[in-house]
Amino acid sequence: MDDKQKILTLNHITKDFPGTRALDDVTFDLYAGEVHCLVGENGAGKSTLIKILSGAENSDKGEILLFGISYPQLTTRQAFELSVATIYQEVDLVDTLTVADNIFLGGELHNRYRVIDTQQQESITAEIMKRLNIEIDPSVLVGELSPAQKQTLQIIKALHRDAKILVMDEPTSSLGLEETRALMDLVRNLASDGIGIIYISHYLQEVTEIGDRITVLKDGKTVNTYERSHFTVDLLIHDMVGRDAELFYHREPVPIGDVGLQVQDFSRDQFVKDVSFDVRKGEIFGIGGMVGSGRTELVRMIFGADKKDSGELLLYDKKITPSNPKEAIGRGICMISEDRKETGLFLIRPVTENMSIVQNEQSRMFIRLREEFKRVSDMVDKLRIHLASLDQNADSLSGGNQQKCLLGRWLLSDAEVYIFDEPTKGVDIGAREEIYGIITDLARQGKMVIMVSSDMPELISMSDRIGIMRDGEMVTIVPQEEATEQRLINEYLGFSNSGEV
């Protein structure tokens, strides 16, 4: 980095919250044209650090040195005016506006009649996209874009506002393999143009590929900062969790019983085409495929969240096909959705309500608050959910603890079939290990588990069999002993093992 200009230093940052020290004397810096990755378990302090940089939080001690000028604190407006842009994991766009309207939102261009100049906004948006080799129609509604296009649009929005520092928080958590590659290529291009990028991700293979430097945080402290030539995935894991990669979670085999669930001929438009498979008691049935292959659409239909054109669901040879999630829950099926914030949790309600809502609904009786408190408290202890109080709102929890809170809800319901859609999305290594243990324990109890995952090592290590989705069809089912990353990639893309179509 000797030949590059240092554009940011966060000096000796300390931040306390009631009962915890989120950051303890952390120093972090960034050069122009650098991709500096920030990794650590949930609760390590990553989010707090970038909130202090973006002006969303104030530090208790420390200094922000930005483009050579010292600031004790920043406001969000100052950060914006000083060319710092933060792109959070949750997309911050308006679906009912066009691409160009979102780019210029809050700074619209007007013609001489003081009417928004739509044509000029679309023209400028198209120029930015052409420069970055991005093909998105500026006049299309954002609600019609894919997750990858929305993530890209957030970057374009920041560039339009002349960002010199770009903070990216879990930018690929909702993307498939090809979309991730495209986004990482875009990040490299931005860095080559001199933009400094802080890149936060739980995907360690990703950060070792894209990072010029990597800083590891643990328990609010800086563990190490590594140059490109010195970091490996094993080293990062050791720094993050305090143990070697080979000691990380390995699933124990459990006895598998008879067929319990049968999915027969599920179809819906072009999304899912005549899919059939079965799941045995104690089995974890994985579902893999590229984004858009029909994985999530299939499990949402099984749960009754999406309408189907055809298909039957049998549990122990009895037809139980649900027409909505309430019926599914009543018939012993639960689903931990991919987007815990959008379709899983009630973010502004307490942990107690979030975890007990299904059981309370099923009981159809007066809520016995003392019993509810005891059930939830026991589950919080069992899942080791870190919180200050059961009255704490779900939106104040870390990503891993939010996911465990959602898991606790369904464990209290004692279902027969558990559907996990991306169970460790946006979750750190330590919390992943705990979630894997919960899933394995369900299988040990004889429950039937369906698990959709874009993480191939996760899919291979956790699944007894893996159903491969491609273009809405389940094209094959791969037994665990035959599952390799190369085999799955070939199946995802429709290649033979020789690499030929």
> Is the residue at 63 inside a domain?
yes
Pair (207, 125) in one structural domain: yes
The whole domain housing 124 covers: 6-244
Distance (Å, whole) CA 230 – CA 224: 11
Which pLDDT band holds residue 498 (cuts at 50, 70, 90)?
Answer: very low
What is the helix (H) or strand (E) element at residue 268, kind and residue range?
A: strand 259-268
pLDDT higher than threshold 80 for residue 211: yes
> Is the residue at 446 inside a domain?
no
One-letter amino acid identity for 454? S
The alpha carbon of residue 475 and the mean position of all alpha carbons in its chain are separated, in whole angstroms, by: 26
Which pLDDT band holds residue 500 (cuts at 50, 70, 90)?
Answer: very low
> Among 22-31, 32-41, 171-180, 205-214, which is the least confidently predicted range?
171-180
> Is the residue at 220 inside a domain?
yes
| Nearest of 37, 8, 38, 1 to residue 23 by alpha carbon | 38
pLDDT digits (tens, 9 = 90+) for 425-468: 777 777 788 889 889 999 999 999 999 998 888 899 999 999 99
Could you tell me the CATH number of the domain that includes residue 475? 3.40.50.300
Look at residue 47 in the predicted model and tell me its pLDDT: 87
The arithmetic mean of pLDDT across residues 222-243, rounded, is: 85
Name the domain count of the chain: 2
Query: Across all residues in the chain, what is the average pLDDT?
Result: 86
Phi-psi region of 364 (alpha: psi -120 to 50; beta: other; left: phi over 0): left
Pair (324, 257) in one structural domain: yes
Query: Comparing 368 with 148, which gets the higher pLDDT?
Result: 148
> Is the residue at 390 inside a domain?
no
Distance (Å, whole) CA 124 – CA 42: 39
Look at residue 446 in the predicted model and tell me its pLDDT: 95
Distance (Å, whole) CA 242 – CA 480: 29
pLDDT higher than threshold 70 for residue 247: no
- The CB density around residue 219, as the number of other CB atoms within 10 Å, is 15
Which own/partner pairs from 481-488 qualify as long-range (CB within 8 Å, at least 24 positions apart)?
A: 483/459, 484/460, 485/456, 485/457, 485/460, 488/288, 488/456, 488/459, 488/460
pLDDT digits (tens, 9 = 90+) for 80-116: 899 999 987 667 789 999 999 999 988 899 988 889 9
Half-sphere exposure in the Cβ direction for 482 (13 Å, CA): 13
> Is the residue at 70 inside a domain?
yes
Angle between helices 118-131 and 147-160 (to 10 degrees): 100
Pair (76, 179) in one structural domain: yes
The per-residue DSSP string of 398-461 comes to: -HHHHHHHHHHHHHHHT-SEEEEESTTTT--HHHHHHHHHHHHHHHHTT-EEEEE-S-HHHHHH
